[in-house]
Amino acid sequence: MTISREDVEYVAALARLELTEQETQEYTEQLNSILGYAAMLERLDTSDVQPTAHAVPLHNVLREDQVKSSINHEKALRNAPDGEEGFFRVPKISLT
Amino acid sequence: MVVADKYEMVCGLEVHVELQTKTKIFCGCTTEFGGEQNTHVCPVCLGMPGALPVLNREVVNYAIKAGLALDCEIAEFSKFDRKNYFYPDLSKNYQTSQFDLPICIKGGLEIEVEGDKKWIGITRAHMEEDAGKLVHSGETITTSNESSVDYNRAGVPLLEIVSEPDMRSIPEVLAYLEKLVQILEYTEVSDCRLEQGSVRFDVNVSLRPIGATTLGTRTETKNLNSFSSVRRCMEYEVARQARVLEAGEKVVQETRTWDEGQGITLSLRSKEEAHDYRYFPEPDLVPLVIDREWVEKIRKTLPELPAARRARLQTLGLSAYDAGVITQAKDMADFFDAALSCGGDAKTLANWVMGDFTRLLNTNQCSVADSPISAKQLAELLTLIDKGTLSGKIAKSVLEQMYSTSKDPSRIVKEKGLAQISDEGALLGIIDGVIAANPQSVEDYRAGKDRAIGFLVGQIMKATKGQANPGLVNQLLKEKLSS
């Protein structure tokens, strides 16, 4: 598979990244090279292999439904760039 | 439903239900509603770096239970995925949800609209975390310069139940929702408090020319929280799409929001790009394997579901309508069954439960669960009527006193001297007095005016403050008058 310029622009838009012309060019080449390398895997016959849902061979790691203490406002907001009256404050939300 | 004589409506629903666990889905924070902002939070539900989620076992139990009640298959293998989007209602820029391998698949439920039964398929039901709450500084998101976020609700477990696009009219949609919420209430996986946002609805609706087999372009209106909003939103959206199509334009596939105040839907964002959620498996959670044993253990905890309960009540002699009213809410059905287990006739009990008992609760805005009258006490009241101790009329007043005092009916009867007079000797004396005082009526009756006896019975009831046994009065009076 090949990654087109449009693919890169699309993914960048989804990630809210603004790329320069040069970056778009550069990432298109790099992504093609990375995915081209990974494409080696396609040569393997995986018809009898279950899809891997997780890298660790574990399942059903569960906890009991018991309340643990939460943290307070101050702790919760300590690393927040902005907050007021115990709320986190975020800038204008764009819906596009 | 036929719109403008040429379109058919097609609707599918996504219903988000908060599961009533004590703690959040991936951390030990409480799920309690309310609470000061950002006090039910921890590094996990705030998405702090390095914090690791661990799945709550009870969430899985509830999801299995709801799935079984909705006739779903429970997937032997399921997993969680990240749904990526930029919106500050979740702190991680993704929601932990289930994508391609949900816990419940291929279920459904039967609805009935105007006597027609119809099966509505449920595609899937999956577990996910709820988002936090945003408070905008302006009137709407777009006019606000900033927003405040409370993450208390972030991480509260949700079950998202996705229906097939099987509904063809607004009454079908409402019947599906009522049935769904009723089943969930019965299973007690959720408190189903709509006014608190415990259940929220996303409505997918499209129109297509009558006879068409492919679906038209749909819109999705998100986050409705009452049946009436769903109804009004659909009425609006169907009319809007019909206008668009009539004008020769195309419906745009998009997410819309319902403006309750204005009663209209508004475009929120275009679906094409914004809805590429780039799901991928959640690396912080391992897969879930549910064996038959686990499923069967949960199946044993399922209560008798509404349909089965209705059927059972009908075999006891209740009409389909009465059985439907009584089983509408589980609390009421439980009350009925508890009273019935004390003995007595099911039909009589049903009349009292649906009539005077419900009226008392409604007048006092009291729920069945908080009723000051216990099921056993209501059963006792009916036994007193059955034994002839109380007339039906006096029993109604006793019921009101039971409500205000929580006393047993037998005690009220004793304290107030309300027992019905069924003693022939005592009644005969009163009957003689009434006959003597009303010669005209006696004459009328003897002259063939049957109605005159009603007046005499009334006088006897009045003389006994309504406590005379009416059947016995009638019998004795007739004997006296014809002698």
Contact A89 B57 (CB under 8 A): no
Chain B nearest-CA residue for A13: B273
Which pLDDT score, from 0 to 100, does residue B460 have?
Answer: 86
User: What is the torsional sign of CA B138, B141, B145, B147?
Assistant: positive
Q: How far apart are CA B283 and CA B281, in angstroms?
A: 6
Q: Is A49 on the interface with B (CB under 8 A)?
A: no
Q: How far apart are CA B38 and CA B151, in angstroms?
A: 6
Q: In a mutagenesis test of the B interface, which of A84, A93, A96 is the best target, namely the one with the most B β-carbons within 10 Å?
A: A93
Contact B43 A90 (CB under 8 A): no
In a domain, A28, yes or no: yes
Q: What is the pLDDT of residues A60-75, one digit of tens each?
A: 999 999 999 999 888 8
Contact A86 B38 (CB under 8 A): yes
Domains and CATH numbers, chain B: 2-296 (no CATH), 304-416 (no CATH), 424-481 (1.10.10.410)
Cβ-based contacts under 8 A for chains A and B: 134
Number of domains in chain A: 1
Which pLDDT score, from 0 to 100, does residue A16 have?
Answer: 86
The CATH number of the domain where A31 resides is what? Answer: 1.10.20.60
Contact B22 A65 (CB under 8 A): yes
| Pair B337, B297: CB distance under 8 Å | no
* Amino acid present at B216: G
In a domain, A33, yes or no: yes
Q: In a mutagenesis test of the A interface, which of B19, B37, B38 is the best target, namely the one with the most A β-carbons within 10 Å?
A: B38
3-state SS class at B215: coil
- Residue A10 is part of which domain span? 1-44
In a domain, A88, yes or no: no
Which pLDDT score, from 0 to 100, does residue B271 have?
Answer: 46
Backbone angles phi, psi at B148, to 5 degrees: -105, 145
Backbone angles phi, psi at B391, to 5 degrees: -85, 160
In a domain, A19, yes or no: yes
- Give the side-chain half-sphere CA count within 13 A for B403: 20
Which pLDDT score, from 0 to 100, does residue B446 have?
Answer: 84
Which pLDDT score, from 0 to 100, does residue B274 have?
Answer: 54
In a domain, A68, yes or no: no
In a domain, A31, yes or no: yes
Distance from CA of B321 to the nearest CA of A (A): 40
Q: How far apart are CA B2 and CA B174, in angstroms?
A: 17
Q: Is A38 on the interface with B (CB under 8 A)?
A: no
In a domain, A64, yes or no: no
Q: What is the ipTM of this complex?
A: 0.90
- A47 vs B103: which has the higher pLDDT: B103
Contact A13 B273 (CB under 8 A): yes
Q: How far is CA B397 from the centre of its chain?
A: 30
* Tokens 């009434």 -> residue: B434
The 3-state secondary structure of B365-408 reads CCCCCCCCCCHHHHHHHHHHHHCCCCCHHHHHHHHHHHHHHCCC
In a domain, A93, yes or no: no
Chain A residues in contact with B41 by the CB 8 A cut-off are 70-71, 76
Q: Summarize the confidence of residues A77-88 as an average pLDDT.
A: 89
The 3-state secondary structure of B269-302 reads EEHHHHCCCCCEECCCCCCEECCHHHHHHHHCCC
| Pair B226, B218: CB distance under 8 Å | no
Residue A92 has pLDDT above 90, yes or no: no
Q: Is A46 on the interface with B (CB under 8 A)?
A: no
Residues of chain B with pLDDT under 50: 271-272
